[in-house]
Structures are given as structure tokens and as C-alpha cells.
Amino acid sequence: MSKGDNLSEELQILKDKAKQITGKAREEYLEHVSDLKEKLKQVTGETSEKAKQIIDQTGTYIKENPQKATLIGLGVGVGIGVIIGMLIGRRK
């Protein structure tokens, strides 16, 4: 065998190894992405469930205490109105 043939074989071996390494890296990357997607789904699901519970608890509170809920809503509305009024007044 000549040096050219040996060099050609070595290049082919190196190319094959590079393909294997690239394939393994791609597999690991896709696995990590899949894990992250699954974790994100879990977190989103938990957050969604907590939000539903809070909404349900708020609805229950409003049904059980309509006067308090009305006064709280009125107070929050007036507070937001005052803040907006102050911000608009500053612009002029």
C-alpha cells in the first residue's frame, strides 16, 4: 500500500468517527430538549392547576361574602383610578 492509500483510509476512518460523534451529540441534544419540554409541561400544568384553584376559591369567597367582595372591588377600582389620574396629571 502506498502512503496515499493509507492517508485515504485514515481520512475515511476519521470521517466515520466524526459522523458517529456528531450523531451521538445530536441524540444527546434531542434528549435534553425532550426532557426540557417535559419539565415545561409539568410546570405549566402545575401553574394552571394552581390558577384554577385560586379562581375557584375567589368565586367561592365572592358567593359567601358578596358585600365584602363588592367593597373590596370598589376599593381596588378607586385605588387604580386615583393612580391613573395621578399619572395623567403628571403628563400635563
State the pLDDT confidence band at 86, using cuts at 50, 70 and 90.
very high
Look up the pTM and report it.
Answer: 0.48
Query: What residues does each domain of the chain span?
Result: 3-65
What angle, 0 to 180 degrees and rounded to 10, lies between the N-to-C axes of helices 66-91 and 3-64?
Answer: 120
Tens of pLDDT along 39-74?
Answer: 888 888 889 999 999 999 999 988 999 999 999 999
CA 10 – CA 6 distance, rounded (Å): 6
Tens of pLDDT along 8-29?
Answer: 888 888 888 888 888 888 888 8
